[in-house]
Amino acid sequence: MAKRNLKQKNNNEEQLESKLIDLARTIRVTGGGKHLSFRAAVVVGDKRGKVGFGIGKSKDTTEAIEKAFKQAKKNMFPVVIKDETIPHKVYAKHDAAEVYLFPQRKGIGIVAGGVVRVICNFAGIKNVSSKIIGRTKNKISNALATIKALKKLKPIVTKENKEDIKNEESAQSN
């Protein structure tokens, strides 16, 4: 897994980090012969609550990685983080991959393997544990299951923050 730090200048001068989690050579056999292409999977995050995942395909590896990076940047979404961890346990499934994410107290760190660790790190989650239950070791399926799990996270509603959450939801819907 190769790691690249790419600094992108947007309106708010955000710094994005990206990591190549999978690069595969694919061959399509046709009547005219074998056609070689590459597939790249990239995770992008700012370590402050936004993360994205993208897949790119091309005949050249660098072009496939760039396409995956652009798609991951386009697919970035905010992650609900409370006290450097997730607010509640969450489960998600994608194809044969099943992922559980559990909140942890401060000081535990990221207790996760493979792609789940990378995604949680780039999202800015510092204390979390996970379990991959599924019957696959496919990195892309595990990454998509982790992304689904992070999208399921909801903030915990208390009397103090009830109005703040309603205001944020109405601002996001507009």
How far apart CA 146 and CA 86 sit, in angstroms, is 13
Q: Which fold has domain 3-77?
A: Double Stranded RNA Binding Domain (3.30.160)
* pLDDT confidence of residue 73: 96
Give the DSSP per-residue string, 24-92. Answer: EEEEEEETTEEEEEEEEEEEEE-SSSEEEEEEEEESSHHHHHHHHHHHHHHT-EE---BTTB-SS-EEE
Chain mean pLDDT for the chain:
88
What mean pLDDT comes out for the span 12-21?
A: 80
How far apart CA 109 and CA 116 sit, in angstroms, is 13
Q: How many CB atoms lie within 10 A of CB 112?
A: 22
pLDDT digits (tens, 9 = 90+) for 32-59: 999 999 999 999 999 999 999 999 999 9
Retrieve residue 32's tokens. 């005219």
Percent of all residues in the chain with a pLDDT value above 70, rounded to a whole number: 83
What mean pLDDT comes out for the span 109-122?
A: 94
Residue 25 pLDDT grade (very low, low, confident, very high; cuts 50, 70, 90): very high
Task: Delimit the CATH 3.30.160.20 region(s) of the chain.
Answer: 3-77
What mean pLDDT comes out for the span 73-99?
A: 94
What mean pLDDT comes out for the span 94-120?
A: 94
The answer to whether the CB of 20 falls within 8 A of the CB of 2 is yes
CATH 3.20.20.105 corresponds to the domain 79-155: no
pTM of the model: 0.83
pLDDT digits (tens, 9 = 90+) for 144-156: 999 999 999 988 7
What mean pLDDT comes out for the span 77-82?
A: 93
What mean pLDDT comes out for the span 93-115?
A: 94
* pLDDT confidence of residue 8: 47
**pLDDT greater than 60 at residue 7:** no
* pLDDT confidence of residue 21: 96
* pLDDT confidence of residue 134: 81
Q: Which comes out higher in pLDDT, residue 136 or 155?
A: 136
* pLDDT confidence of residue 11: 44
